[in-house]
Structure formats: C-alpha cells, structure tokens
Structure 1
C-alpha cells in the first residue's frame, strides 16, 4: 500500500491530503465545541454546529496559499510549524469574523481559541505521523551511523536533513555546552565530547559530522585534533558565510581539507595596500591560468582595475580563466576591460606591444615552470622560461614604462638544490639588478612556500591513495614543507607589491613547517582508518617511502641570510639578500644562454653554480636526452672495446 501511494503522481498525493483535511477539519471543529461546552449532548444540539462544514472551506484555501500542500511529507522538518501557525491563525480568524456576522455572539472567543489550537495540533500531528509511516523502518545496517558535533541550529538542521535520506543515520549529538548536555533535540540525545570514545563502540558510530559553522577555523582545528585519535571519518559543514541562505544542507557536508588541518589566525588585509597598484589601473598577470595566477586575477577583479590583461602560454588554461572572469564581470555588472593573450613571456616584442597598447601600470609575473623533478629532467626549458623569460618580460615592462613589476618567487630559491629553485633565484637576481639601474619601473619579488590546492599538490594524491586502499607513497619520513592557502598567498602578494620601493625581496610568514609524514597519518585517521605499521599490523593503509626525487630537499627555507626587517603588514617581511651588479650579471647570462643553445649541460651547471652562489645540486645531471646520449656513448665504448679484444 505504501509503495502504491509513493508511486502516485505528485498532484494525486496533494489531492489525497486535501480530501483528508476536508474530512477531518469538521471533526476538529466538533471536538473544539465539545471541549468548550464540556458536553457532547449540548454540542449535538447547538444551533451553530452547522458551521463545522465551513472549517475546511476557510482553512484549505489558506493552507494552499501558505504552501502546506507543496511540502513533500517524507521530507518535512520544523519549518512546517511556521506554515501551519500562519495558516491556522489566518483561517480561524476569518471563520470567527464570519461567525460574528452570521450568528452574532453565539460562539465566543474562547471557542475559537480552542479551535485554533486544535487545528494546529491536528495538522502538525497528521503530517509528522504520515512522515513516520511513509519513511517506515529502515535497514539500519545500510546507513552510516553518525554523531553530529554541535547541537545548535546548524546541527538540528543537519539532523532533519539527514533523516529522510538513505546514507546517514544521526544517532547522537555531541556538544560541549553543559546546558545542552543530557537534553534531547529532535529526538536525539545530546552528550558531552568526553563521552564520545565510549559511545563510538556502544552505538556503532563510525562518522562524525561537524556542524558548527559559526566557530573560527582555529576552534574547528582544535576539535578536529581532539577527534583524530578516535580514527573516525570526520566531515564538516562550511562556515556560515559559505552556506546558502545560512541553512545547512546534506550537500554542504564535505571532507576534511588540508586547510582545516593547518588553519591559522587570519590577518585582515590592509585595504589601502590592496588598492595601490590596482584600483582604476591597467593590470597584467602572466601565467594567468595557473594556480597562483588565476587566484590573483580573481582578487584583482574585485579591486576595480580599469583593465585586466591575461597572458598565458596554455590555450586551455587561458580559455578557462577568461570564461570564469568574464562571467563574473557580466553577472556583477562590472565596468572592466578583460583582454586574454596567448603568448610567452620570452616574446619581448609582443609583451612590450601589450604593455604599450593597454597602458599597463602593474605586472604580476606568475608564469613559471615549478615542478622540481620535471624541471630537473628538462633544465634548459626551465632556465629559458623561469630565468630568461623573467629577463625578457622585465625588459619589456621597463621599455613600456610599467610602474610596478611583481615577481612571484618561491622558497625553493633559497639555497637551491635543484634547477627550478636556482632559476627562480636567478630571476630574483635579474630584478634586483634591474632595480639598481635606475628604471622607472619598481621591481620587487615575493617569496613563499607551497600553496594548498595547486596543481601537483600532495593532498589530492594522498586522498586518492587512501580511497583506493593505499599505499601512500612518501619520499622521506623527515621531509617538511611550508603551506599556505592560494587565496591568502595571492592577497599577500598584492599587498607586498604595493610596498615595493625597487629591488625588494618580500618574504611571507608561512607559519610552522609541516612534516609530510604526519600529515599523511592524520589524513588516514580522519578517513576512519589506521596506518599499517609494526605496532598496528591490522591497519588498512600502508605508507611506503620511495626516496627523494632528483633535486628534492628535505626541508625548505625562506631566507638566505639573517638580515630581515618588518613591514606595515604583520605577515610580510623584507629580506636583504645578496645581489650582482647588472654589467657582471649580463655577461654571466650571456654565457649561460650560449651553453643552453649548445645544449652543453656540463657548462650549464657550471654557469648556474657561478651565478647562484648558494646553488648546491643534490643530484647529477638528469636531462633525459643527455642521459640517453651518455647511455649510447657508453654502449659504443663497450662495443669498441669488444672489437679491439676480438681483433687481438
């Protein structure tokens, strides 16, 4: 019978509900009269009893208008109470006014108060009873038993949203508010967090849903840290500002991100610094389709530039960011000129023409090859793009009288052990030398560590490996890295650039370095699993160490020397680093370029070591073509030796 009803068309179900109310509302009227007169006999003889037939005629149209019959019974929640209160109040008031006009004072206000309460009780009881019957008993083993951490409005909304579904079964609330503990909310008991370790086993809980959108990221991190040892799957709802209409929905629940694990106190941006280089100006971003470049574009767009020029060598990346930004401009009615260019920073003439044609005031140079192993295997391309690309782009900016030029640098430029880091340090040296030449352009660079969510990030890799049952692959048990979110990094880059006087090396405060092995273990625990070790042989996820890749460091640094000063921003420091005067650097660059043209990898490394004095290669030359050439040369030598021995 239930399945037959559930398979009926939507309009048929609404008609059944309307007919049912048409039958029961007159009975509600009679019950109210019995309660008022305290006699069933007096009720049957009362001259006003005929008005019972008017009850549905007044109530049903009002309830239709209020949207009562549009609600899907199986999915109703506490919001229906407001609908019923409004509908019952309006309809009973209309019925009372009609009774006064037709019958005078035969029916008193007390009667209509009783009728109002009875109507509310009937409608709510009938709907929630129908919801229970239609939902029916569920096979509890097929639903994930969850504890909802947070018994406030968000937790109650989440519980009501989960109940009709087939995935989660809310079993308990967890809340540290002593006033809520031992209470029952929406039929679910509230317990303190201290009771969770015991309740996990007793109630078969394997997932915790954190429903506290009003708490700060730091408070959320403390709760996650407290829950981690329980080895439960932990999911969270976003902060209140990110919820649609401030309402928690099932689809808002998400996995733990690395940002949740590494969260730190947010420093409010200095709005004056944000607007200096951007507002009402023409701005160009190279590498506009990359991780950092695209976020810079998004934030720049919100700071009201006159023109935003996008430059990228990747057609797809440029297309994707251009479509996203144009959609934002159109939907918000912004008066901003958006100009996408396919091209390379190595193309001096094109870049100069762009700067001149669009009167570019500010350049953010984010275009670079950044993946350490790839650049190690393709060193000439890395040198050309990262070092000579910066040289060409900076020359074009200077020739076009661009006012501000900001290079996005990296912590890998500090005492580099790989080609990528040495090329970024070389790019810094080029801009430092340009700044001392008396250019009209203010050159500066901003140095920071890994950004979360960028292409090649370790976190998505770990998540895929965990979901497939492992193993997690790590290069070394002691490897550490600095991390920062992409939005925070982009915001600080914009503010740092505004403070540049010429040749400045700005360093962002990245917080404390993170041991990657610890991060992997935490991700395993927060997915509800255990790492397989000698101490925990029943663990499900194994961690394998595969060794450092070519050019990779155990740890990164942000400063070469110790000469560092503060700035107007608490998270931005100014470093005093060694420089090379342009006449000498120009000659060195010429020799490096010639070695690249010759594909002389031995000379390339020698020149890099000479220019970047801190460069200490951690591996031999691993260019693929060079290695293949050496392999063939070795084979030829072996063959020649074999021929000589044969002839002898």
Structure 2
C-alpha cells in the first residue's frame, strides 16, 4: 500500500497537469477570439504531449508538492511562478527548435499566465474555504475588541486572532488619518485615536489591543492613554525585540501595565565598554537587597564579573537575592555579606578579602517623611557616615572607581533625606584625589515600583476598594523604570572620570493624581467606583523635584540619556574637619539640631516649617 503522503502528492500533481491541459486549450481559444478552428484544435491536442512531458517533471523536481494547501502562502506562489516560467521557456524553446508552426507565439505567452492563476488560485481558494469552515464562526464567538495600529504587527495580530475563539476584532484604529476607510485582512480602519470615545459607544466594545511595537514609546503611550481615557480595558502585544528574537508571538497579548504608560525608550548601553570594565573583575554593591541595588546586581551579572559581592543589612532581602542568583545566574560567582555600611572594620575586612575594583554604593535611607522627625540623626548616620565609610575603605584598598547613587531630592533640598544625600555628594567631592579612587555621583528621580514608592501603595489601596490617597492635586514627580535607572547608573559609572555628577534624563514630570487615575482605570475601575482623596503634603515633601541646582551647569555626553554637571570645588579643609567632628558624635541629636547642622554644611538646604 502506497504511503498516504505519496498518494496526496500524486493527486495534486494530477490536478496541476489537468490545469496545464485546460489552460493550454484556453490559451488557443482566447488566441482565436473564442472561435477555435478544428485544425488548430487538433494541433493543440497533439502538442499537449510535449507540454505535459515538460511540465510534469519540472513541477515535481522543483518541489511544488512539499507545501500543504491548507497553509498556502506567498512562498508557494513564488515556487509556482518559478516552475511555470521554467517550463514555459522550455516549451517555447522546443517549439522553435522543432519548428512547430501550429503553436502560435501568443499561446506561449498566454498559457503561463493562465496556469499561474489556475494553480495559485486553486490553492488559495482551498485555504480560504478551510479557514471559513474552521474559523468562520469564531469571529462571532469571541469578545469584541478594537485593534489600535495599522502596521505589520496589526496585520500579524489579525491573522493570528482569526484562529482564536477568545477575540472578535470589530475594527481597527490608526494613527494616520489617510488610512481611514481602508481594510487590513477584511477588517476596516474605522478612525483615529480621537474617534475612540465614539467607537466605544457605537460598537459597545470594552476592550482594545494596542499593536504598535514598531512605533516610538511616546506614540505607544499616547495610544494607550487614549484607550484608557475612553474607558477601555487595554492590552498590548509583546515588544518588537521579543517578537524578532522568537521568544513570543504577536498573539500573546498582555494587560497594559503602568510601565507602558510611562513611555520610556529603551536604553542603549555601551556593552563592549561595560564588559571591559566589569567583566572578569570583582564588583561590590552596597544596599544590594534594595530596589536599585538588586537591579544593579542583575545588570552587572550579565557582564560576567569574576566575583559579585552583595553587601546588605537586611538578612531576608539578601537571602531572597541569593536564591534568585542561584536560579537565574548560576554561572556568576557571588559573595553575600550581611553588614552595615557604617561598620568601617567590617568594610575593611570585606575589601581586603575580596579586593573589589568597582563599588556601587546604593545603600541609603530614602523615605522622606520617616527621616524628617525623630529619625533625622539616623538619616545622617546612614546616608552620610555610611557613604564616607565606604568611600574611605575604597581609597584604602585601591578601588578603581566608586559610584554613588544619589537622588533629585538632593537638589535645593527641603527635607532631611535630600540634605543628607547632598551632603554625601559633597563628602565624596572632598575625598577626590588625583591618582586615587575616582568618585562618580549619579542623580535621578523616582523609579516606578521601587520599595517605598507610591505605586505599590496605590495598588494596595485599589485592591482594598479605595480610596487612593494623594497628598496634593498638583504634586509632580519624575519617574523612570528600575531596569532603566540601573542601566544608566552603569553607563554613567563607565563614563565618569572622577568628581562628576551625572544627571539622568527623566523625561516629562508626571502628576501623581493623574498617575493614580491611570492606575484605577488600568485596574478596571472607574473614578466613581474608587475615589482619589487628597491628604495634604507630608513633612519635608515638595510639590516638585529638581535635577540640578541653580549654580550647576550641565553638558551633554555621548549618551542621549545622560548629562554631566560639575558642582562646586572641593570643600575647604576646615569644613571637612568640622564635619568629621560632627559625624563622630555618638549621641542622637534632636531633630532641630540635626537640621541646623545640615543647614551649616549644605547651604542650599531650606527645611520646611
């Protein structure tokens, strides 16, 4: 018994040869204006022996029967065109060589055109019939959804959703007005982003998929915001990089996250430079269990350091990071150290044992209201004394470079936390020496979803049914993603030569009240269901943050997301001696006394009443 595959291929070959015969006779019929003389009919039938004798082996040898009609594609059509063209040229050459006058030249031109239409058309007609048979009813079974986008990703998404029982695409929304009224795979482009409220009402649709991975982050954010404001539950397709790498398919849509609305472009890193700087070296990260410290550790691990030293005060945070590294980065050697950055003796022991060449200092107290009152002295101890202890240990043990993770709250600070970070910057400036450890400072604003930020708090409040509390209707902040912030810290550290303050490009500031409303809508609620309540500014809190002081000037760097600023000259020796004496005090000072001293060492500090 013949294998089923051979039988199927033979049947398809018979079909194509039948098409060859029909198209050959049809070409004669058309040549003689639909009135074929009997003499030429006989000649056409005689010449079929030659025509079939050429086409049959060519079709088989050129692989026309490897494809499956059910999945006919442009590749199959191209294969048909090549086979028909080769066969037709062979037949034409044979006709002229054999001097067959009863084969008109116009027949030799018409026949291949008709044959491509017949063979290609039959395959695509079969696929269309099978698709309609299998999936025709599905378009009426799934949830109605609008697709926002009219590019390649939207085309692929429509093709894949046609096979899904979950979605029924009712229309497309394009960003280009010139495309209104056109169709993609039979789905009409109904309008632009401004038309979304009307389309939502008209079509009674409640969901949208943003299929614009090839567009800029800004364009995607505008599309997502428009859909959210129209009351739609918004999903998006995977990133273009993930789709091109084959990790995911375009049909693997996911719910839009707040990170998508932030609209940040991917960071371009100097991979070669970072690999040379960090790869095969010992790198130490303080505060490794925190949001920024842990992400720095993950990013550094990708450059395969010889050893990554994770220094963290919280035992549990360090344990979690250790477990993560064992699973995700088993090839990267790590050393986990539970310790306090204020413990100079421990730092000396760790630096002497591990000999790091690069240090990233991310350990700090960062919560503004908590550090404002009775904890003010602890903020000074951790943020200033801790930074100085790490910096001095780096100098003693020949560390090549130390990168201090600072904050926009250090600019014209109005709170203890910002003032202590600014003072830490000045301490490192005073320690900078030619030929010694190079100190680099990196400032940036809030990172989305970090420990202690408003995002986790808003999520918890929404999960409880509200209300969502915002301190002031006009309060604004700069935001970036945690991985983006960590990547830019690495890039700034690579570029820094010592003494610089790098400022990250934070984009446009975001109104916290708008952020809260977006989170409510993304969670599937309306503002009537979950209210936004204003509670008043907290101690030490400003309405807006700055990234530079008035006295500082920035210059562009080769990296678009980094600017560099040089602050004032190194503090005088008597200033440093006075500061050292104050930091050496062991008795906790009263908050008012702490703020007075901070004002002495950070003149731009203006504590709130």
Is TM (by shorter chain) over 0.5? yes
Task: Tell me, yes or no, if the aligned pair for 1:480 and 1:513 is still in contact at 8 Å.
Answer: yes
Task: Tell me, yes or no, if the aligned pair for 1:398 and 1:439 is still in contact at 8 Å.
Answer: no
Task: Tell me, yes or no, if the aligned pair for 2:429 and 2:570 is still in contact at 8 Å.
Answer: no
1:563 aligned residue: 551
Rounded to whole Å, the distance in 1 between the matches of 2:448 and 2:176 is 33
1:198 aligned residue: 198
1:171 aligned residue: 170
Deviation at 1:506, TM superposition (A): 4.4
Q: Does 1:339 align with 2:334?
A: yes
1:587 aligned residue: 581
Task: Tell me, yes or no, if the aligned pair for 1:148 and 1:211 is still in contact at 8 Å.
Answer: yes
Rounded to whole Å, the distance in 2 between the matches of 1:457 and 1:282 is 31
Rounded to whole Å, the distance in 1 between the matches of 2:129 and 2:114 is 22
Rounded to whole Å, the distance in 1 between the matches of 2:484 and 2:420 is 25
Q: Does 1:440 align with 2:436?
A: yes
User: Secondary structure of the equivalent of 2:553?
Assistant: strand
User: Secondary structure of the equivalent of 1:575?
Assistant: coil
* Match of residue 451, structure 1, among 414, 436, 447: 447
* Match of residue 410, structure 1, among 403, 407, 412: 407
1:84 aligned residue: 76
Deviations 1:62-94 (A, max 9, x none): 57744x38xxx6xx6xxx413433665688799
1:574 aligned residue: 566
Aligned length: 569
Unaligned runs of 5+ in 2: 30-35
User: Secondary structure of the equivalent of 2:587?
Assistant: helix
* Match of residue 370, structure 1, among 345, 352, 366: 366
Worse-matched range after superposition: 582-591 or 454-463 = 454-463
Rounded to whole Å, the distance in 2 between the matches of 1:247 and 1:515 is 35
Rounded to whole Å, the distance in 2 between the matches of 1:147 and 1:60 is 46
Task: Tell me, yes or no, if the aligned pair for 2:238 and 2:250 is still in contact at 8 Å.
Answer: no
1:153 aligned residue: 152
Q: Counterparts of 1:47-126 in structure 2 under 5 Å?
A: 62=63, 65-66=66-67, 68=68, 80-85=72-77, 88=80, 114-126=114-126
User: How much is the aligned-residue C-alpha RMSD, in angstroms?
Assistant: 4.9
Name the TM-score, length of structure 2 as normaliser: 0.75
Rounded to whole Å, the distance in 2 between the matches of 1:165 and 1:546 is 47
Rounded to whole Å, the distance in 2 between the matches of 1:283 and 1:217 is 33
Rounded to whole Å, the distance in 2 between the matches of 1:610 and 1:482 is 29
Deviation at 1:188, TM superposition (A): 1.1
Q: 1:128 to 1:267 in 2, by over 3 A?
A: closer
Q: Counterparts of 1:170-569 in structure 2 under 5 Å?
A: 170-177=169-176, 180-193=179-192, 195-224=195-224, 227=227, 229-245=229-245, 249-263=249-263, 278=278, 282-300=282-300, 308-313=308-313, 314-320=317-323, 322-323=325-326, 326=329, 338-344=333-339, 345-372=341-368, 379=375, 385-414=382-411, 420-421=417-418, 423-435=420-432, 440-459=436-455, 461-462=457-458, 470-497=466-493, 504-525=500-521, 530-532=526-528, 540-546=529-535, 551=539, 553-558=541-546, 561-569=549-557
Task: Tell me, yes or no, if the aligned pair for 1:285 and 1:297 is still in contact at 8 Å.
Answer: yes
Task: Tell me, yes or no, if the aligned pair for 1:59 and 1:91 is still in contact at 8 Å.
Answer: no
Unaligned runs of 5+ in 1: 1-13, 331-336, 533-539, 596-602, 620-648
Task: Tell me, yes or no, if the aligned pair for 1:529 and 1:541 is still in contact at 8 Å.
Answer: yes
User: Secondary structure of the equivalent of 1:564?
Assistant: coil
Task: Tell me, yes or no, if the aligned pair for 1:508 and 1:571 is still in contact at 8 Å.
Answer: yes
1:3 aligned residue: none
Deviations 1:576-618 (A, max 9, x none): 3995823222221222x333xxxxxxx3535522432267777
2:594 aligned residue: 608
1:629 aligned residue: none
Deviation at 1:326, TM superposition (A): 3.1
Deviation at 1:162, TM superposition (A): 1.5
Q: 1:32 to 1:398 in 2, by over 3 A?
A: same
Name the TM-score, length of structure 1 as normaliser: 0.71
Rounded to whole Å, the distance in 2 between the matches of 1:518 and 1:192 is 26
Q: Does 1:135 align with 2:131?
A: no
Q: 1:56 to 1:191 in 2, by over 3 A?
A: farther
User: Secondary structure of the equivalent of 1:585?
Assistant: helix
Q: 1:134 to 1:279 in 2, by over 3 A?
A: closer
Q: 1:98 to 1:347 in 2, by over 3 A?
A: farther
Rounded to whole Å, the distance in 1 between the matches of 2:24 and 2:458 is 69
1:26 aligned residue: 14
Rounded to whole Å, the distance in 1 between the matches of 2:374 and 2:333 is 34
Q: 1:251 to 1:607 in 2, by over 3 A?
A: farther
